[in-house]
Amino acid sequence: MTFQIIRSSILLVLLTLSTRIFCQTFTLPNETVIFSFDTYNGKQVTLNKDSANKYIIYRFGTRDKIEFEFPDKSKSSWKSFTYSFYLRGGGTKNEGMDLNYIVFTNKDFKYVIYDTYFAVGNKQKIGIKVINLKTEKTTNIKGNRKTRKGTLVDFRDNSLLEIGDELFD
């Protein structure tokens, strides 16, 4: 009986360790999720910040592997991102909309995390657009709104990110 308990305990420890080794965490213990969602092609997108605002970081990948992380975890990371938005109320009669974008550039690509709402048709969309700056080709990776956490709207009052005026819709 004791042998089975020890064997079960060892198996449990090995399973826990293998999960920690092979699964990467999209949000570290010292981080807060600003905005995250799953894409329709099985990827995760997260925009996190250190709880003390020391850095902001973007992560993209599968549940098991972070495929892209930008930038490094430093105070200057805030300067790598720009927030832009446009808000027009008035509902469908005024073609109301609420457009929110976080933008950063890495090498020859511009990344646009978006969260948009259009009153006409009651259309809400989240996702990320990847723009090849050499070819100007845009890849739109659509997010699943049901998996959405957080909001980009809070950046309207956040002094850590530069506010831009470029819109992407």
Give the DSSP letter of residue 65.
-
The whole-number pLDDT of residue 74 equals: 85
Closest C-alpha among 158, 168, 96, 88 to residue 128:
168
Structure confidence at residue 158 as a pLDDT band (50, 70, 90): confident
The DSSP string of 35-61 is EEEEBTTS-EEEEEEETTSS-EEEEEE
Structure confidence at residue 75 as a pLDDT band (50, 70, 90): confident
Model's pTM, two decimal places?
A: 0.83
* CA 148/CA 37 separation, integer angstroms: 4
Is a pLDDT exceeding 70 seen at residue 84? yes
Give the DSSP letter of residue 144.
-
Q: In what side-by-side order are the strands of the sheet with 149-150?
A: 66-70, 56-61, 44-50, 31-38, 149-150
Question: Mean pLDDT across the chain, nearest whole number?
Answer: 88
Tell me how crowded residue 110 is: count the other CB atoms within 10 A of its CB: 18
* CA 110/CA 28 separation, integer angstroms: 25
The whole-number pLDDT of residue 20 equals: 40
